[in-house]
Amino acid sequence: MGALIGLGVGLGLLLVGWTVVDPAWRPRVRTRRRSRLESLLLRAGLADVRRSSVVGTCAVCFAMGAFVMLGVSGVPAIGIVFGLMAGAAPIAVLRARAARRIREHSELWPDAVDNLASAVRAGLSLPEALIQLGERGPAALRDPFVRFARDYQSTGSFSDSLDLLKHRLADATGDRVVEALRIAREVGGGDLGRMMRQLSSFLRDDLRTRQELESRQSWTVNGARLAVAAPWLVLLSLSAQEDAIQRYATPAGAFVLGVGSVACVVAYRLMLHLGRLPAERRVMAS
């Protein structure tokens, strides 16, 4: 009986050692290339939402918008145009949510980096410094670090847990912080606290400059959006007038609607491209 118990204990220790030595047993983050929609969902903080759900929502919105406007105006071309607008609404909502989330995170990262620098200066280990951000860090940033704590406690792998943390943050600043901690963990970093304080100061200066530029250009962007929306608001108001709206039921009217739609889309995209502020790219994203 004692020999059987000893054999079982030895086999268990062998399996535990195997999982530590053999990297194939370690959990890995999927590195397949994400689609643009998946990246958008990730930036919006909706990584658990499926692409098929978003596509289905867009299709339903298109069908409802086209059906309602076809019933109001009786012109198929107008129904299709407004249906396309309704179908694009979920994507617009996701982009607005992603931009708002990135803006909120950019305002919170300096405090989070200060918190990390204080924890490192106080003598906490790097995993402990990250875990305490899930308890004492900025509220909007706590969830990824709470999940990091669960990953690290379940796997014991700091590097893999950092990969998962970076994936959930989906943020250029988060990439830099994560990679700095990874390097400090692997090769040592006596100046990590000083580097974190310098990064916090840089982020505050960048945030202050970006907010000033956004406040100066906001009226121009809003005016351009109103100019793009105005023709369609006029068309919507004309939909109740049967005599006026029937002109768009002809091939010439459909052609005018098509050209106008393309012109508005091109002008709006050009306005966004010319008016956007330079954004830091995620050069270290997995």
**Res 90: pLDDT:** 93
Buried b vs exposed e over 33-52: b needs ≥16 C-beta within 10 Å?
ebeeebebbbbbbbeebeee
Distance CA 80, CA 68 (A): 10
CA-based R_g, the chain, Å: 27
pLDDT of residue 4: 38
Confidence at residue 24, expressed as pLDDT on a 0 to 100 scale: 40
Of the candidate ranges 124-133, 150-159, 165-174, the one whose mean pLDDT is the lowest = 165-174
Report the chain's mean pLDDT, rounded to a whole number.
79
The Cα diameter of the chain in Å comes to 98
231, 260 contact by CB (below 8 A): yes
Instruction: Report how far apart, in Å, the C-alpha atoms of 25 and of each of 9, 12, 122, 161, 273 are.
Output: 20, 15, 35, 15, 46
Residues in contact with 118: Cβ distance below 8 Å, sequence separation at least 6, in sequence order? none
pLDDT at 25 over 70: no
By the 10 Å C-beta count (0-12 exposed, 13-18 middle, 19+ buried), 147 is classed as middle
DSSP state, residue 74 = -
- Would you state the pLDDT for residue 32? 46
Is the full-model pTM beyond 0.75? Answer: no
Please write the tens of the pLDDT for every residue from 174-201.
Answer: 888 788 778 877 776 567 777 778 888 8
* Nearest-angstrom CA–CA distance, 134 and 191: 24
